[in-house]
């Protein structure tokens, strides 16, 4: 079955517009609370429509999150292609690459915090979201391996391939910990600081055992 069942808006000006209003409203609500906490009534009110309008587009509540999931993950695949493009980084130092990766990731996590939180929390329960996430992570791991493995000579870690993968997981975990779920860390502001990306790049680089690059 497809993302959101039923998706041919003929009287576009109306139905397409309300659909987008619902999606935007949902993302706005998810900035404040998780998908489980958010009620349909709430989302629908934020969108300025009624429940009936919602059920004309989606078979049930879950389908809404799945729709946001598909849409967002689509963007993330594109980001991967852009970020790990072998051509783009021809001749660049590993430090430069990783700096760009952490920078962009941190930015993304900050901008889409609510949605990411909700998707992450639901991934434990919802097999479909989990599978999507798993595939996406696989894609990222493959791409970053493809990009960094040819430079393995620069790394002093005994198992460069594993270090590349594990380092990526560590970086991702740190971003989640600090940006998505940072409420549990005291004096978070100082911890994160304004140079979190460069520190995370430093972690990654140091773990690989590569030259730190310019400050």
Partner DNA sequence: TGTACATCAGTGAACGCGCGTTCACTGATGTAC
Q: What is the binding site for a copy of itself (CB under 8 A)? A: 34, 36-37, 117, 120-121, 123-125, 130, 133-135, 137-138, 141, 157, 162, 165-167, 169-170, 172-178, 181, 183-186, 190-191, 193, 199-200, 202-203, 206-207, 209
Cα dihedral: 84, 90, 93, 99 (round 10): -30
Residue 11 near DNA by CB under 7 A: yes
Size of the site for DNA (CB under 7 A): 24
* Distance in Å, CB of 49 to a copy of itself, minimum: 27
| CA-based nearest residue to 174, from 194, 195, 200 | 200
Residue 2 near DNA by CB under 7 A: no
Return the SS3 of 116. Answer: helix
- Residue nearer to a copy of itself on the CB measure, 40 or 53: 40
Site string for DNA, 51-90 (x = CB under 7 A): xxx-xxx--xxx----------------------------
147 binds, among DNA, a copy of itself, none (CB under 5 to 8 A by kind): none
Helices (H), 5-112: 12-30, 40-47, 51-57, 61-83, 94-111
191 binds, among a copy of itself, DNA, none (CB under 5 to 8 A by kind): a copy of itself
- Residue nearer to a copy of itself on the CB measure, 55 or 207: 207
At 180, give phi and psi (nearest 5°): -80, -45
* Distance in Å, CB of 127 to a copy of itself, minimum: 10
Q: Give the Cα separation of 72 and 83 in Å (integer).
A: 16
Taking a C-beta distance cutoff of 8 angstroms, is the pair 83, 100 a contact? Answer: yes
56 binds, among DNA, a copy of itself, none (CB under 5 to 8 A by kind): DNA
* Distance in Å, CB of 34 to a copy of itself, minimum: 7
Residue burial 18-31, b: 16+ Cβ < 10 Å; e: rest:
bbebbbebbbebbe
Give the list of residues 6+ apart from residue 151 with CB closer than 8 angstroms, or none. Answer: 94
End-to-end alpha carbon distance in the chain: 50
Residue 50 near DNA by CB under 7 A: yes
Q: What is the binding site for DNA (CB under 7 A)?
A: 9-15, 17-18, 38-41, 49-53, 55-57, 60-62
């Amino acid at each position: 079955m497809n993302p959101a069942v039923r998706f041919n808006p003929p009287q576009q000006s109306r139905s397409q517009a309300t659909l987008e209003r619902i999606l935007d409203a949902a993302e706005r609500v998810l900035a404040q609370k998780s998908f489980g906490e958010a009620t349909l009534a709430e989302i629908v009110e934020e969108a300025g429509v009624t429940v009936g309008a919602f059920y004309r587009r989606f078979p049930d509540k879950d389908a809404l999150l799945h729709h946001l999931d598909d849409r967002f993950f689509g963007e993330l695949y594109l980001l991967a292609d852009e970020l790990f493009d072998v051509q783009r980084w021809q001749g660049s130092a590993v430090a430069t690459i990783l700096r760009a990766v952490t920078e962009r990731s941190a930015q993304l996590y900050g901008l889409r915090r609510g949605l990411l939180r909700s998707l992450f929390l639901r991934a434990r329960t919802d097999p479909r979201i989990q599978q999507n996430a798993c595939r996406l992570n696989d894609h990222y791991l493959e791409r970053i391996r493809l990009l960094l493995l040819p430079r393995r000579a620069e790394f002093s870690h005994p198992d460069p391939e594993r270090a590349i993968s594990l380092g990526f997981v560590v970086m991702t975990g740190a971003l989640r910990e600090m940006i998505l779920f940072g409420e549990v860390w005291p004096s978070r502001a100082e911890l994160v600081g304004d140079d979190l990306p460069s520190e995370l790049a430093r972690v990654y680089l140091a773990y690989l055992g590569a030259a730190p690059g310019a400050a």
